[in-house]
Structure 1
Amino acid sequence: MSNTSLLMTSTSAGGPAAAFVSFFPLILIFVIFYFLMIRPQQRRIKEQQATIAAVKKGDEVVTAGGIKGRITRVTDDEAEVEIAPGTRVRVVKSTLSQVLTRSAKPAND
């Protein structure tokens, strides 16, 4: 019984310093998680939003539904996408998931 009472007094006698030491690994894990997971994801989201905001006529795009097409007209929040010859649909720019740039030329052309 004396060992149990000795153990209880030593942990409760630490105060705020002991509480910090016990929470330090948890804090360290959160900081590592932030720099390895959250921050790079936020950077990718910003890059994608900038790419979608800069879409222009003639760019090839893929919508969130998986439809590929070419931009024929752009307004502030909408884009007109030609998905087949003579078939155009209006989509909200935020639903564009990928912009396939036309500036990249094939190697054999």
Structure 2
Amino acid sequence: MLTTGVAYAMGGSPGGGAGGGGGLMGLLPILLMFVIFYFLLIRPQQKQAAKQRDFIKNLKVGDRVVAAGGLHGEVKGLTDTTITLEIADKVRVKVTRSAVTGSSQDAAVPEAQKPA
């Protein structure tokens, strides 16, 4: 009686069909989701980070930038790790290069509005 129970436990599926190929078909949706995730999220983020690195690397004296915290200023000095920004007349601050978030088009004050 015990031998019969073991034989049934070791037997194949009652449908008689082989279950081969299920592993690959089970992984296909996961792989497809990863590919979609890569092209929609990871790749654009990598392009944006590369663009930001190039922008920071190519800064020069006189460029108007925005730093972290919303500081708008003009680049007055550069080192390997820091940038000196003039945020007002005779007011200069040092920030790290990584704190620069982008170019400042609207930070420029027209010459007619500058105090004498």
**Moved >2 Å (runs of 4+):** none
What are the superposed Cα offsets for residues 52-89 of structure 1, whole Å, 9 maximum, x if unpaired? 11111011111111111110011111110001101000
1:100 maps to 104
Cα separation, 2, equivalents of 1:97 and 1:38: 20
Residue 64 in 1 paired to residue 68 in 2?
yes
Matches of 2:93 and 2:57, distance apart in 1: 18
2:14 maps to 1:6: yes
- The two structures have a TM-score, normalised by structure 2, of 0.73
Compute the displacement of 1:100 (Å).
3.0
Checking the alignment, whether the CA contact within 8 Å between 2:62 and 2:76 is kept in structure 1 is yes
Give yes or no for contact 1:80–1:89 (8 Å, CA) kept in 2: yes
Report what 1:27 is aligned to.
31
Partner of 2:49: 45
- Residue 18 of structure 1 aligns with which residue? 22
Q: Which amino acid aligns with 1:81?
A: L
Gaps of 5+ in 1: 102-109
Aligned partners of 1:52 and 1:99: how far apart in 2?
Answer: 10
Structure showing greater radius of gyration is 2
Q: Give the % identical residues.
A: 41
* Aligned partners of 1:52 and 1:99 also within 8 Å: no
d(CA) in 2 for partners of 1:44, 1:53: 14
* Structure 2 residue 59 is the aligned partner of structure 1 residue 55: yes
What number of residue pairs does the alignment pair up? 93
- Counterparts of 2:56 and 2:62 in 1: how far apart (Å)? 13
Give the TM-score, by structure 1 length: 0.77
Deviation at 1:99, TM superposition (A): 2.1
Partner of 1:58, secondary structure, is: coil
